[in-house]
Amino acid sequence: MKVLTIVSHPRRESLTFSVAERFVQGLADAGHEVELADLYGEEFHPLVLEKDEPDWENPRKSYSARVQAEMSRLKRNDGLAFIFPLWWYSLPAITKGYIDRTWNYGFAYGGSRLPHKKVLWIPLVGETEESLKKRQFDAMISHYLNVGLAGYTGISQSEVAFLYNTLAEDMDSEEEIKQHYDSLLKRAYELGYTYSDSVTQT
């Protein structure tokens, strides 16, 4: 498969990018083609301005050159992955803006659907799994991503793989913290390597 991996973090030396690197390596080792979209590095503008505002009476509206280029990039890949820190139990603004602008009317919905077989969402969660699930935030986030976004735009297979406790809460020793981060990176690699395992071949 050709997998567009969309990464959102302002710092290249962040854990988010380390996760992305291991995920991409897993994809490559499994034989997939990989294209990386670094939204901050590419200075993607997340605001929907008039040129990219949906026109409900015109599903064939011509959007801005940047959005048309992103749509072309989306179309040349048959799989998607989003890697991002979970901020306020939601997507970073730049990730949400990317979806707002590129998954637009007439392309992702409104008589058309996205062409992708699968999307994998990898949120990096600062708190522990127990803490996130305490108020059912995990279910809320998964429903939003799998149903509200992927399902609405025609992507039949959507999965959310949370990476928990990225702040290493309640870990005291350097060795324990190192082992924890190593386990997160190992999980990221496995997610890349097994990306197509659940994809129905047609």
Q: What's the CA gap between 182 and 79, in Å, rounded?
A: 26
Find the helix or strand (DSSP H, E) in which 119 lies. Answer: strand 118-124
Please give the chain's pLDDT, 202 residues, in tens. Answer: 999 999 999 999 999 999 999 999 999 999 999 999 999 999 999 999 999 999 999 999 999 999 999 999 999 999 999 999 999 999 999 999 999 999 999 999 998 999 999 999 999 999 999 999 999 999 999 999 999 999 999 999 999 999 999 999 889 899 999 999 999 999 999 999 999 987 654 3
pLDDT value of residue 202: 38
Q: Which domains does the chain have, with CATH numbers?
A: 2-198 (3.40.50.360)
SS3 68: helix
Produce one character per residue of 113-124: b if its CB has 16 or more CB atoms within 10 Å, e if not. Answer: ebebbbbbbbbb
pLDDT value of residue 200: 52
Nearest to 169 by CA among 137, 126, 134: 126
